[in-house]
Amino acid sequence: MRLHLCFAPLAGLSLLAQSGEEILAQVDRLRHPWPAFTVELTLRAGSASQQWKVSARENGDARLDGVSAKEKGRAVLMKGDQMWLLVPGSKRPVKVTPQQRLMGPAAGGDVARTRFREDYAVNSLAEDSLDGRECWRLELAAKRPVTSARQVTLWVAREGSLPLRAEFRMASGKLARTAHFGPPGQAQGQMVLSRMSLEESGGGTVELLFARWAKGGVEAGAFELPDGDR
């Protein structure tokens, strides 16, 4: 009996992690419906608008290529835990710091790329409600120190395991931004994310619209860095 009592809490923690990871896996499928894919991303902030093409491959690397006039030729490249900005006319990529990932297209790319199950550990899982919907509330902690948001509180609808809201916090616990997820869409028979909005803690909102999801179509050469910065 004593052994049973000693190991019961450990079994509970194991069950919590397993259940939490299953929820995160379902959430991730909306933004990563296939191992490799492309999707068109539109960023809107007030009257300003940017269009980017996002390419993601099996290992989690992602690249954003500017499509709209002002962004044409610019790219944001994410390889592993590193992020670079590729600028026309410059032979060397500009490395993006974790703090800079909280701003502009880097923020949109960082959030769009985030894979909760791989990037975060589940600290707690509880029943909750949000805007009248029954949901799960997950408290997440970053697995690696280079992750820009160190803590995340994620609300997931119990019906359909759809993400509703996520609060991203820095290491200090200060709120960096809040993400609101829109209803899912359909692409090639797969449920996908259609839109989300990011509310910055200092004010301002950026809307992310996703369209033309397509399976595959990612060229390996697109993820190579120029010169010796690989």
**Residue-wise pLDDT tens digits, 140-187:** 999 988 777 899 999 999 998 899 999 999 889 999 889 999 999 999
45-84 tens-digit pLDDT:
888 999 999 998 888 888 889 999 988 989 988 887 788 8
Q: What is the CATH number of the domain that holds 187?
A: 2.50.20.10
Q: Which of 90-94, 95-99, 136-140, 159-163 has the highest mean pLDDT?
A: 136-140
**CA distance linking residue 190 with residue 37, whole number of Å:** 12
Whether 54 is covered by a domain: the verdict is yes
Whether 2 is covered by a domain: the verdict is no
The per-residue b/e assignment along 124-140, b for 16 or more CB within 10 angstroms, e otherwise, is: ebeebeeeeeebbbbbb
Q: Is the dihedral of CA 136, 137, 139, 142 positive or negative?
A: positive
Whether 18 is covered by a domain: the verdict is no
Closest Cα partner for 122 from 107, 144, 137, 102? 137
When divided into structural domains, the chain yields a total of: 1
- Give the confidence band of 42 by pLDDT, cuts at 50, 70, 90: very high
What are φ and ψ of residue 71, in 5° steps? -100, -5
Range of the domain at 131: 33-223
**CA distance linking residue 170 with residue 47, whole number of Å:** 29
Identity of the amino acid at 76: V
Closest Cα partner for 36 from 71, 62, 4? 62
Look up the pTM and report it. 0.82
Could you identify the residue written with the tokens 């408290």?
A: 139
Closest Cα partner for 225 from 88, 51, 78? 78
Whether 74 is covered by a domain: the verdict is yes
Q: Quick check: helix, strand or coil at residue 230?
A: coil
Could you count the other beta carbons within 10 Å of the beta carbon of residue 28? 17
DSSP single-letter state for residue 173: S
**CA distance linking residue 143 with residue 151, whole number of Å:** 10
**CA distance linking residue 184 with residue 24, whole number of Å:** 16
Identity of the amino acid at 179: A
Would the pLDDT of 228 be above 80?
Answer: no
Whether 163 is covered by a domain: the verdict is yes
Whether 228 is covered by a domain: the verdict is no
Whether 21 is covered by a domain: the verdict is no
Whether 7 is covered by a domain: the verdict is no
**CA distance linking residue 18 with residue 31, whole number of Å:** 21
Higher pLDDT, 42 or 16: 42
